[in-house]
Homo-oligomer: A and B are copies of this chain.
Amino acid sequence: MSNKVPVGVLGATGAVGQKFVTLLENHPWFELTELAASDRSAGKSYEQAAAWRQYKPIPQPLKDKLVKPCEPTLDCRVVFSGLDSSVAGEIEESFARAGYIVLSNSKNHRMDDDVPLLVPEVNPEHLALIEVQRERRGWSGAIVTNPNCSVIGLVMALAPIHRAFGVKRVIVATMQALSGAGYPGPSAIDMLGNVIPFIGGAEEEKVETEPLKIMGALDGDQIRFADCRISAHTNRVFVEDGHMACVSVELERKASPDDVARVLAGFTSLPQELKLPFAPGRPVIVTGERDRPQPRLDRDAGDGMSAVVGRIRECPVFDIRFVVLSHNTIRGAAGAAILNAELMKAQGYF
């Protein structure tokens, strides 16, 4: 019998859910034993219910597994939620109330005062909010969230810079992959030879606020948001995976491009120390090639868990500018939630 922690996936048939299933195959600590989805899918085998769209096939033991409804009667204590935000709010709460640890990729609770918006390399100490959450809400479980897929690369680059030099103002323009829109996402005819300079669901607002919470300081039972301002332009481009961002940063303390490159390349943190299975060796990889990062060539760096930063140079308006790329469905979604769970496990939360 396996010593692994049994875990479940909520919304297992969707795009994020399928990514969870793929990434959790052969995980050294977790064993995926429960698949839950909407009533439409519940009662079917996973193979029947999921319109499978990953490059790797459905893990053999899960093919015939029965999909259950998203009710807190799953036989596991930890669940990963890839639920759509239209339903995630209530379902995730019902699980947390019933004692489950919910690792959520949905936006619903990210900005709640008492919910950690966690990037293990950046703000592991925010897990302390769980106590606040449990006390306030009377829950035995907990909800822990990861950031939006367009935020993660930006914040992984900004956080070490913020710590070293202080970030005051940021203007960022993103070029985001199709997979960030879920499946089926944008129509081919809309994207052919085109760029769409708008992403629905308040994408720009997320880019402008989530980093402030993530880079914020834990102060008693609350997070003091980082005192910086961000302006985001978000664009959809014809790329499969990998969100890229062009970033200009105003700093508190002057720093040269070399200073910044050194800080980013040397950045390492708790997940690396703890050797968490999904922790990349280097959270931020700095490239010196003049035309990198590029989505197709660099998104899989660190098995999709590293952010790649290139073109670090002086900004004639602010202080520093660079390009950052991260894999939106791995580090920006399912992989992020798994790393969050690993940190919690390592710290004894379950």
Contacts and interface: CB of A to CB of B under 8 A. Distances in A.
A315 interface: yes
B194 A184 contact: no
Interface string A178-197: 11000111111111111111
A170 interface: yes
A169 B318 CA distance: 9
Contacts of A290: 198
A217 B141 CA distance: 66
Interface in A240-272: 240, 244, 246, 248
A297 to B, nearest CB: 7
A178 B189 CA distance: 6
A173 interface: yes
B175 A175 contact: yes
Interface in A158-214: 169-171, 173, 175, 178-179, 183-198, 208
Interface string A212-245: 0000000000000000011101010111100010
B208 A239 contact: no
Given A171-B248, A187-B184, A187-B186, A198 B317 contact: no
Number of copies: 4
Contact of A294 (B196, B229, B231): B196
A131 interface: no
A138 interface: no
B208 A316 contact: yes
A291 B196 contact: yes
A195 B175 contact: yes
Interface string A302-339: 00000000110001111001010000000000000000
B230 A235 contact: no
Contacts of A296: 192-194
B169 A246 contact: no
A193 B238 contact: yes
A230 B316 contact: yes
A300 interface: yes
Nearest to A198: B291
A295 interface: yes
A293 interface: yes
A295 B194 contact: yes
A53 to B, nearest CB: 8
Contact of A297 (B55, B230, B293): B55
Given A173-B173, A178-B188, A229-B316, A197 B321 contact: no
A339 to B, nearest CB: 23
Given A179-B189, A194-B239, A296-B192, A246 B233 contact: yes
Contact of A240 (B192, B239, B293, B323): B192
A230 B197 CA distance: 21
A111 to B, nearest CB: 16
A293 B198 CA distance: 10
19 contacts: A173-B173, A178-B188, A183-B189, A185-B187, A185-B188, A188-B191, A192-B238, A192-B296, A193-B193, A193-B295, A194-B296, A194-B297, A195-B244, A196-B294, A197-B246, A197-B292, A231-B318, A233-B321, A237-B238
For the complex of A and B, the 7 pairs showing the least CB-CB separation, nearest first, are A173-B173, A184-B187, A233-B246, A198-B291, A231-B317, A188-B191, A194-B296
